[in-house]
Amino acid sequence: MNRAQPAVDLTAYAAAVPDEVVARLRGGRRVLTICHENPEADALGSALAVSLLVEANGGVATPVCADPMPAMYKFMPGMDRFRRTPDDSIDYDLLVVGDCGELERIGPVLESHRELFDRVPILDIDHHISNPLFGAVDWVDATSSATCEMVALVVWKMGLPLTLADGMLATALAGGIVMDTGNFQHPNVTPRTLVVMAALKEAGADLSELARMLYRSKPNTQLALFGRVLARIASQMDGRLVWSTLELGDLAATGATSAESEGLVDLLSQSNTAEVAILFKEVAGNGSTRISVRTRDGGVDATRLTGQFGGGGHARAAGATLALPVDEGRKAVLAAAAPLVAAVKR
């Protein structure tokens, strides 16, 4: 294996990477790496990292995200590489879809390039338990804290250094893990997560700076938005079911963007009484409602709630979109959540 001898060794963990995943990535010469719409650090970091490993292996790669880059992630190196659509001048031979619980989550690029997605094989790398296995090759590991954790193991198994691109790869992967673990506070953190992060830190990722920028540095517009939404917090069942609503008027009043709502549901989940915390988001333009759900460890499986509305995710964190205006959507979801909460005995 052609790498300097790092102190942190991921060889044992990297054995979990399917050989077919490595074979597809080694064979890909013109690769599209695409993440979900409304992206966060895990989606962006894993897509960028796969692009970097493809290029290190002699291929050409295009990272794509259908939505504009959220301002909060622009500090991370390489985020300016993302395109909104595939490069039509490239005849792709592999599509890598990362951190998507279902293919439709990549957004409008799926329909605008339907022929591409029908023709070119898809490598699906994901950690959502609800993933329906939509790829020609699927590696879904619901025990992984983040898709970035999985991609770090892919890099290692391929014999590539985690120091690729002057530390850009390590930073991208570490950022995704920091975000998806809630800065290592969520129960999805495992010993493997910590060892992978140790390897990424050794490779150059500045963990303290990532944590500061992602969790302790927010624009004033975002703070104002949080204040408005948290001020209307509501609960029932003696506080065991907690929720709030982000209305379109909140964005207009504060000057915040929709992307700046990132982290709101995690604040709601800090309620010391809540078994289930729900953020309802009014979606512009189509009268629909987006829900983000967090649940307490050992209690309600969040996918049981979101699955009733066509969504998915993880046991402790999941989401869905309802084709209902926010008032109707909230009523329907709370009615479905109540019996799940009531069944929890502590």
Q: What is the mean pLDDT of the chain?
A: 96
User: How far apart, in Å, are the Cα atoms of 175 and each of 11, 48, 80, 225?
Assistant: 22, 11, 16, 24
Average pLDDT rounded to a whole number, residues 199-220: 95
Helix/strand/coil for 63: strand
Q: At what angle do helices 207-215 and 168-180 cross, to 10 degrees?
A: 50
pLDDT tens figures, 267-302: 999 999 999 999 999 998 889 999 999 999 999 999
Whole-number pLDDT of residue 270? 95
pLDDT at 4: 61
Q: Report the distance separating Cα 252 and Cα 93, nearest Å.
A: 43
Q: Tens digits of per-residue pLDDT, 7-33?
A: 999 999 999 999 999 999 999 999 999
137 close to 20: Cβ distance less than 8 angstroms: yes
Evaluate whether 10 touches 147 at the Cβ level (below 8 Å). Answer: no
pLDDT tens digits, 90-118: 999 999 999 999 999 999 999 999 999 99
- Regarding the domain with residue range 11-215, which homologous superfamily does it belong to in the CATH classification? inorganic pyrophosphatase (n-terminal core) (3.90.1640.10)
- The predicted-structure confidence for 133-173, as pLDDT tens digits, reads as follows 999 999 999 999 999 999 999 999 999 999 999 999 999 99
Determine the pLDDT at residue 2: 45
- Domains of the chain by residue range: 11-215, 220-342
CA 249 to CA 272: how far, in whole Å?
A: 29
Give CATH for domain 220-342.
3.10.310.30
Question: Is residue 3 pLDDT above 70, yes or no?
Answer: no
How much is the average pLDDT of 310-330?
95
**SS3 category, 231:** helix
Phi, psi of 319, rounded to the nearest 5 degrees? -155, 170
DSSP 318: E
Q: How far is CA 301 from CA 28, 100, 241, 267, in A?
A: 37, 19, 14, 19
